Amino acid sequence: MKTVLRLDEPIRQRISLKDKINRGRQLKFSREYRQVSQSELCGQIKGLSQSNLSRFEKGLGYLSDEVLKEIMVALNFPFKWLDVPYIQIKFN
């Protein structure tokens, strides 16, 4: 069976599951830090649905780098913040 590359589809960057989950957590942290709901954020980004954003934040979905850049601009965070390792601190 041949693999066919469709030219009308964007080539998705290969990213590890660990990095994908990290990006979702960082995005969720950024959004919550700015006190913006998923619905509010989706209203600011053309073509972004709340369900896609939710899936991405859980590490289950995909968002293009272009959409992620728009989101990070809207949240006033640098794009590279998504690749900073997420550290969860638990308080007893």
Res 51: pLDDT: 96
Q: For the beta carbon of residue 23, count every other beta carbon within 10 angstroms.
A: 21
Res 14: pLDDT: 66
Lowest mean pLDDT among 3-7, 47-51, 53-57, 75-79: 3-7
Q: Which CATH class is domain 17-83?
A: mainly alpha
37 contact partners, CB below 8 Å, separation of at least 6:
31
Is the separation of the CB atoms in 57 and 28 below 8 Å? yes
Q: Give 30-53 pLDDT, tens digit per residue.
A: 999 999 999 999 999 999 999 999
Q: Give 77-92 pLDDT, tens digit per residue.
A: 999 999 888 777 677 6
Confidence (pTM): 0.77
The residue ranges of every structural domain in the chain are 17-83
Structure tokens that stand for 49 in this block: 């649905």
Q: For the beta carbon of residue 43, count every other beta carbon within 10 angstroms.
A: 13
Average pLDDT, the chain: 85
CA gyration radius for the chain? 15
> Residue 21 burial by CB count (10 A; 0-12/13-18/19+): exposed, middle or buried?
middle
